[in-house]
Amino acid sequence: MKARLVLFGIGALGFAAVWFAGARKLDPMGSYHGAYGEILNAVSVPERHSTNVVSAVNFDYRGLDTLGEEFILYISVVAVAAILRKQKDEEEEDEDEAPTQLREAPDSDAVRLFGVGLVPVTVIFGLYMISHGSVSPGGGFQGGVVLATVPLVVYLCAGAKTYLRIAPPALAKGGEGLGAAGYALIGCLGVLAGKKFLENVVPLGTPGEAWSAGTITLLNLTVGVAVGTGFVELISSFVEELLRKAEK
Amino acid sequence: MIAPLQWLLFLLLAVTGPAVVLTREPVAQAVTVSFYGIVLALVFFLHQAPDVALSQIVVGAVALPLMILLAVAKVKRKEASRK
């Protein structure tokens, strides 16, 4: 134990010395020497009608990278679902196991009232974030996760049966595939129009309005669907056996 | 005006970071890592990166602790059924 601390101390001192030496020569906050950022700031609104430059980069100028990220998430969700799935021999084991507590609606009025207040606000905030990705900070990814917390609140406040009603597993699985495929299909619009894959060929609209920036907004919608349903699918596969009891 | 806030947040980071490591109980750790995620999001927000801050909030303060809690709950259920 002591030797470990001494070893850590030596390493930490060395790290601190190098870190302070490096940090002293750092430029002050906000200074920027690259050209790429300045160019994007200048061209994003006139070229793509997107007032959120980050979205313009993620879903247009570097749209292909985001397609890759979309599939990283997709594969992760598939992997979790595959690892957590019930196998035949496990199923038989389950028959004689102690009954796991099924999540019923809680007795407390305060919890239910909290859920009633929280759900609509979260739904609206999530939809707003997805649909306004090209205008203000946020976008499909952030909004999708916000939306995915809604079934979780419902699960905690209204029980497993209501959860299954608003987020049936088939819907979550279908939405995940549809969202991921939608991104690639919107990318194909550019090819169909005789231009490049993921080229922004949809009418751009007025900068600052929700329906603007062409494919940037459309791609945000598909990402929102994919991420939202993907996270719901994750939650479902973790509480799967409880949900299956609720189905009976 | 920004500088004192910056120092405050950096100090909070320096406190919450080790706190996550020093919390040994997984359920408690989900809470500390969530708090750490929020502080980190505030640092991003203060440095004029609201998009990154939002992503940090949904991943670091919501999704990660949620996955930890769900995994712990599943493991505990398995252990209870073994007994």
Tens digit of each residue's pLDDT (9 = 90 or more) over A208-228: 777 777 888 888 889 899 889
Domain count, chain B: 1
Q: pLDDT higher for B9 or A247?
A: B9
Complex ipTM value: 0.78
* Residues of B whose CB is below 8 A from A231: 63
- Residue pLDDT, tens place only, A56-86: 888 888 888 888 888 898 898 888 888 887 7
Q: What is the rounded average pLDDT of the residues B7-33?
A: 90
Q: Using alpha carbons, select from B21, B26, B83 the residue that is nearest to residue A96.
A: B83
How far is it, in rounded angstroms, from Cα A9 to Cα A215?
A: 53
Please give the residue range of the domain that contains residue B64: 2-82
Helix (H, G, I), strand (E, B) or coil at A135: coil
Q: pLDDT tier at A102 (50, 70, 90 boundaries)? A: low
Cβ-defined contact of A84 to B80 (cutoff 8 Å): no
How far is it, in rounded angstroms, from Cα A42 to Cα A26?
A: 26
* Nearest CB neighbour to A98, from listed B58, B70, B80: B80
Q: pLDDT tier at A96 (50, 70, 90 boundaries)? A: very low
Q: Is A94 on the interface with B (CB under 8 A)?
A: yes
Cβ-defined contact of B81 to A100 (cutoff 8 Å): yes
Report the pLDDT value the prediction gives residue A200, as an integer from 0 to 100.
Answer: 76
Q: Is B58 on the interface with A (CB under 8 A)?
A: yes
Q: Is B59 on the interface with A (CB under 8 A)?
A: yes
- The mean pLDDT of chain A is 82
Which residue of chain B is at minimal alpha-carbon distance from A90?
Answer: B78
* Residues of B whose CB is below 8 A from A126: none
* Residues of B whose CB is below 8 A from A152: 66
How far is it, in rounded angstroms, from Cα A124 to Cα A129?
A: 9
* Nearest CB neighbour to B70, from listed A139, A141, A235: A235
- Residue A93: pLDDT over 70: no
Q: Using alpha carbons, select from A186, A169, A173, A212 the residue that is nearest to residue A64.
A: A186
Cβ-defined contact of A84 to B74 (cutoff 8 Å): yes
How far is it, in rounded angstroms, from Cα B54 to Cα A148?
A: 15
Q: Indicate the DSSP class of residue A202.
A: S
